[in-house]
Amino acid sequence: MSLILAAEAVTNLAFDPGVAPAEGGLPGLSVLKQVVSSINLFAVIATVGALCVAGVVWAWGHHSGSHGAEQKGKQGAMVASGVALLLGAANGLVAFFSALGTQVK
User: What is the C-alpha separation between 18 and 33, in angstroms, rounded?
Assistant: 25
CB atoms within 10 A of CB 98: 10
> For residues 23-53, b (16+ Cβ closer than 10 Å) or e, as one string?
eeeeeeeeeeeeeeeeeeeeeeeebeebbee
pLDDT score of 56: 97
pLDDT score of 1: 55
pLDDT score of 10: 56
Tell me the DSSP string of 7-45: HHHHHHHT--------TTSSTTHHHHHHHHHHHHHHHHH
pLDDT score of 31: 92
User: What is the C-alpha separation between 40 and 37, in angstroms, rounded?
Assistant: 5
**pLDDT in 10s for each residue of the chain, 105 residues:** 566 666 666 556 666 677 777 777 788 888 999 999 999 999 999 999 999 999 999 999 999 999 999 999 999 999 999 999 999 999 999 999 998 988 887
Q: Are 43 and 87 in contact (CB under 8 A)?
A: yes
pLDDT score of 75: 98
pLDDT score of 24: 77
